[in-house]
Amino acid sequence: MPHGPVSPDVLRIPTKALLFDCDGVLVDSVAAGERGWAQWAAEHGLDPADVLPAIHGRRSTETARHFLPDRDDAGIAAAVARIDAIETADAVHTRPIPGAAALLAGLGERPWAVVTSATTVLATARLGGAALPLPDVLVSGDTVATGKPAPDCYLAAAARLGLAPAHTTVFEDTAAGIRAARAAGAGHVVGIGKRALDSDADLVVPDLACLAWDGTTLTVRAGALLRGPADPDLLFLPTHLRNVPYVYARDPERTTPGDVSEGANCQVYAYAVLAHFGRRVPPLRSSDLWADETAVTTVTDPRPLDLLLYDAGPLPGRPDGYAAHVAVHLAADRILHLCEEAARPVVWTQADFAARPRYTRLLGAKRAPAD
């Protein structure tokens, strides 16, 4: 659910599940991984300086195939088994990323998963070496057809948790992993460590020590950020609802409900936001929305996720609500909407609306029931 004014001290992200990469996110295995791959490279007649930059965020199978292009499937399998043996033997020295133990210990029965390019055996060994709990859902590199940056692993994790990816938050430290999360449609992506600064993660933190989750809202201590979100006002929205272009023709009569992939007008966008948070509104044009008292009800005390209708005043010969602009009430003096002027979703105040002739009248508010 959206919250009140954005706090300078804490960022809040609504989310129903947490999906963690393993290496570099939950466990500090960089040094161990580089030691193992350096040994593997030497054993295979390769220069470690060439191999090490290519190992992060990808499965060992892809790395082996890249550097051993002349090997057949059996040869690649043997090469992968060798690096797995080297790394698993070293896993006892793995240490947790700061904050990982406390965050995972507090999750209880809340839904979470580990999604890693490592094999199941190696991921399990590293989590054990770091004294971290094993999740009920572990999606590893050897359990998916295509590794990161393909979305397979994150799609699989969300499906096993019984959630749409848009309701999950992913924690990643590599560009490949962040691309995988984006491709899967994850609601939010949190970058971990300096390596994530060059990515399009929504925000970047040094480790997990600045995070807390109560099962519905992830809180991030703002003072710990390495890089903040581009628009804190919209951070409560999943990615697919933050970057929707305004398209006048994408109205309720010509658009599949909830589909904002090719843009939306004000009503379609507002209804998609409500649907994400569990409130369904039929695809009504604004005048029908205002007249309807079955799917929605008129209210005088707007609450978060109520719909607000704005216009320039009565139109002769037209019903109230005709051509009205539809927005979403978030909190006192915070209204989310999509309009031609802004071109993308934006949060305005009542004064912002009143300053524009076409929005001078607040016609009223409508409330849709929760699912």
Residue 310: which of 273, 254, 356 has the closest Cα?
A: 356
Structural domain of 302: 244-367
Average pLDDT by stretches of 10, the chain with 371 residues: 68 97 92 82 90 80 90 89 85 92 96 95 93 97 92 98 98 95 98 95 98 97 96 95 96 91 96 96 95 96 97 93 96 96 97 96 96 83
21 is catalytic: yes
Six token digits for residue 91: 């896993």
Annotated catalytic residue: which of 21, 28, 84, 306?
Answer: 21
Determine the pLDDT at residue 33. Answer: 75
* Gap between the Cα atoms of 326 and 4, Å rounded: 20
Residues 177 and 256 in one domain: no
Contact 91, 32 (CB under 8 A): yes
- Max Cα separation, the chain? 84
The pLDDT of residue 77? 87
Helix (H, G, I), strand (E, B) or coil at 339: coil
Whether 4 is covered by a domain: the verdict is no
Q: How far apart are CA 111 and CA 146, in angstroms?
A: 24
Indicate if 158 and 24 belong to the same structural domain: yes
Which residue, 239, 267, 291, sits at the end of a domain? 239
Assigned domain for 1 exists: no
Residues 347 and 235 in one domain: no
Cβ(217)–Cβ(331) under 8 Å?
A: no
Between CA 203 and CA 211 the distance in angstroms is 12
Which pLDDT does position 234 carry in this prediction? 96
Among 239, 262, 289, where does a domain finish? 239
Same domain, 268 and 139: no
Residue 347's SS3 state is strand
From the list 9, 23, 28, 142, the catalytic residue is: 23
The verdict on 113 and 195 lying in the same domain is yes
Q: What is the pLDDT of residue 155?
A: 98
pTM higher than 0.75: yes
| Residue 23 annotated in active site | yes
Q: How many residues does the chain have?
A: 371
Q: Are residues 24 and 38 in the same domain?
A: no
- Residue that terminates a domain, selected from 188, 204, 239: 239
Q: Which contacts of 263-269 are long-range, i.e. CB under 8 A and separated by 24 or more positions?
A: 264/338, 265/338, 266/325, 266/326, 266/327, 266/337, 266/338, 266/339, 267/326, 269/241, 269/244, 269/337, 269/338, 269/345
Q: Same domain, yes or no, for 223 and 192?
A: yes
Do 98 and 88 share a domain, yes or no?
Answer: no
Residue 5 domain-assigned (yes or no): no
